[in-house]
Amino acid sequence: MTAIGRDQDPQTRGGPDDFGVYQSGGVRSIDRARLAAIAPEYAREAVELATAPTLPSGTRDVILDGGVLSLQLHESVGHPLELDRAARLGGKLLGTSWVTPADVGKAALRERAAEHLRRQRDAARVGDGRLRRRGDCTTARPADRERDSAGVPSSRDTAAQTGLPLTASSRAQDWASIPIVRMTNIALAPHEGTLASIIAETADGVLVSGMTSWSIDDHRLNFQFGPQIAYDIKNGKRGKIFKRPTYTGVTPSSGDRWTASAVHPSTAFAAR
């Protein structure tokens, strides 16, 4: 849904998820997306965004909704763990990563990850990225999620070159292309609380939703994401909305917070 205000600055609100629902299926897929139910809300917010102020710069807590979080995981966790990137086997074409093969399986990494999140990667999980057999003829199996938190997506050749486990994570875009390592289904395991409880526990922050743009460097370190809308949160309550929010950071950092840098005139945030 797009609305154009008096300043001729178009504001778009859409979804669900980051850019919509991409999956094979019939009319049931449309029903599951609840498009008829959410369209009026998106239209209302697009109109409000047309006259909303720009989000001021600052360092505050940031709550990512499911669509924004999925893209953040994709760019900052999924791609950096691909073994061809991590092992610097295709740096000129693919870029590299903040992860190295020597990092895989380190107790410190497992403990730090377990403290904040538990990643799930499952090549056999039913979903958009499911393939029973990968491009190098490796059979996809449900992942052992506890041990897999320290694993990386690999292929026959990258596993052989690094001595790391083979995880059925290579594929080709068509029959004439060589299979390369690409992430499979990746998600966060559910933790405690709900969106409402997270908002209630936030004294000063913003909730961001939808996506318009994103950028991340070749090492998968410095990132900048531009959601569609930001909701102001003060003392546990959602308030007014802002247009053109962005948040920036560096992964990983030595502290418990992403390091913010003011690279956009709209805003720069450190996310908790």
Query: What is the signed CA dihedral for 38, 14, 210, 16, rounded to 10 degrees?
Result: 50
The three-point CA angle 70-72-78 to 5° equals 85
Q: What is the pLDDT of residue 34?
A: 85
Spatial contact of 84 and 94, defined as CB atoms under 8 Å apart: yes
The rounded distance, in Å, linking the Cα atoms of 225 and 263 is 11
Residue 240: is it exposed, middle or buried by C-beta count within 10 angstroms (0-12/13-18/19+)? exposed
How far apart are the two ends of the chain, measured CA to CA in Å?
30
- 140-181 pLDDT tens trace: 655 544 344 446 888 888 888 888 888 778 888 888 888 888
- The tally of CA atoms less than 13 A away on the side-chain side of residue 213 is 9
- The tally of CA atoms less than 13 A away on the side-chain side of residue 44 is 6
DSSP states of 125-152: SSSTT--SB-TTSPBP----HHHHTT--
Q: What is the pLDDT of residue 260?
A: 31
* 10-residue stretch averages of pLDDT, the chain, 272 residues long: 89 79 78 86 94 90 88 86 85 79 62 54 49 59 46 82 82 83 75 86 93 89 92 94 91 49 32 34
Q: What is the pLDDT of residue 119?
A: 54
Spatial contact of 206 and 62, defined as CB atoms under 8 Å apart: yes
Which residue, 166, 156, 122, 151, is CA-closest to 136? 156
Q: What is the pLDDT of residue 232?
A: 95
Alpha carbon 184 to its chain centroid, in Å, reads 13
How many CB atoms are closer than 10 A to CB 124?
Answer: 16
Q: What is the pLDDT of residue 96?
A: 86
Spatial contact of 168 and 137, defined as CB atoms under 8 Å apart: no
Q: What is the pLDDT of residue 163?
A: 86
The rounded distance, in Å, linking the Cα atoms of 165 and 157 is 11
